[in-house]
Amino acid sequence: MRNHLKHYINGEWVESTGSETHEVINPATEEVIGKISLGTKEDLDKAVAAARAAFPTFSQTSREERVEMLEKIAEEYANRKEEIIDVITEELGSPRKISENVHYNMGYNHFSEAARVLKDFTFSEDRGDHTVVKEPVGVSGLITPWNFPTNQTSTKIASAFAAGSPVVLKPAELTPFAAIILTEIFDKVGVPKGVFNLVNGTGETIGDGISSHPDIDFVSFTGSAAVGEKVMKNASETIKNVALELGGKSPLIVLDDADVEKAAKAAVSHIATNTGQVCSAATRTLIPASMKEEFEEALKRVLPKFPVGDPQGDNYVGPLVSEKQWNTVQSYIQKGIDEGATLLAGGTGKPEGLDKGFYAKPTIFTDVKNDMVIAQEEIFGPVMCVLTYETIDEAIEIANETVYGLAGYVFGNDKDTLRKVATSIRAGRIKVNNAELDPAAPFGGYKQSGIGREWGDYGIEEYLEKKAILGYPA
């Protein structure tokens, strides 16, 4: 049992002022694996006060001091590798290979990349008769999601630390233990008191409290569009800066000269990785109408290569994070059936032999129209919609017919067509032919997928204010 009933405020683990707790469930076994305390407004006020008290000193630390701190964090993070993998596998239900190759690695990369970028980051620039300086934004409130307990948390914290901004973190109640390990890492390497503060709790109390708190200068939130809207409204009361990374319904456009087998494998991987609980997942696969039968056969061949089962075993797809999420995904699968889409694979219910745990069948719908609910709303589970197109222009039009714009994907061989599609999709990140992730490349969305960017130097910029000084003495 992992019972962590304290918050981390001003460099110390402290008792909560409230008595409410929350049980954390292993989604693979449906068993309680630990408890956390649910923080109160008073707990949050203490954390914010600690961060504000730390700001004058931390904001004036040298670049070299912050680089050293980030490098120490990355080193200690690596020392805790096996424990981080264990925790994510237990609390999220992520298969061990995904916990290591995706979750652990992404967290490590953000701290090491922030240290690398910071060494040459430009904080001051002379422009004619004036100078522009970049200064820490102030106390930053971070609200992170359950689906990536290290990635989203680490990119926000690393950027804030690099910029010189103290933080108050509220991790998701469903997956809080990875953040607790991060906190232990910060404590061990000597992050100054008040620079990092952790308050567990509900979105209604701690999340709303962060976004509306008058002494928090900046809020970075990752989660649903509905909650992002609420964060913006709360933040508007004190006119604070906000960065939002929200939902997606990303297209994967397969061109007529693409390798069908490779494209099908990439398409399936998007609904299989992290059990489809990925905001940037390609959940709408667009294929030429002439390729429909060939591509469908390839999907049926590829799907069994991503086995579903116990995350402690050699499986690629684990359970959904909770019973609530399982029910949501089931309702969308049924909706797709009701809308008249063709069920190529999967369907409602649990996979055979997996009665315990929140497992869902990886599901592929074909004959999907882009105005169907399953093609427009974020399902956040292992569900793919396959749509057809006649021309490249039609494919681009379908791809952009969504309120979201987080990511886009394109597979093919003709360079001119690849460039046309990549530059025409209205989204914040486009991957061509399954290109590797780059921690230096910005991440964020267009339209209702969010505001601002994370990762690398773009992430650091979010935690900086820009000041123009005219007549700056030479």
* Residues with catalytic function: 245, 279
**CA separation for the pair 175, 88 (Å, rounded):** 8
**303 DSSP assignment:** G
Nearest to 147 by CA among 7, 78, 80, 246: 246
- Displacement of CA 218 from its chain's centroid (Å): 18
- Contact 254/295 with Cβ under 8 angstroms? yes
Q: What is residue 284's three-state secondary structure?
A: strand
**406 DSSP assignment:** S
* Residues 6+ away with beta carbon under 8 Å from 239: none
**CA separation for the pair 206, 218 (Å, rounded):** 15
Residue 151 to residues 20, 98, 278, 298: CA-CA distances in angstroms?
28, 12, 11, 32
Nearest to 459 by CA among 213, 106, 216: 106
Q: Provide the residue type at 170 as one letter.
A: K
Q: Provide the residue type at 71 as one letter.
A: E
Radius of gyration of the chain (CA): 23
- Contact 267/426 with Cβ under 8 angstroms? no
**CA separation for the pair 239, 212 (Å, rounded):** 10
The pair of three-digit structure tokens given for residue 130, joined into one six-digit string: 């004036």
Which residues pair with residue 126 across a beta bridge?
Answer: 131
* Residues 6+ away with beta carbon under 8 Å from 393: none
Query: Phi, psi (5° rounding) for residue 141?
Result: -100, 125
- Contact 403/446 with Cβ under 8 angstroms? no
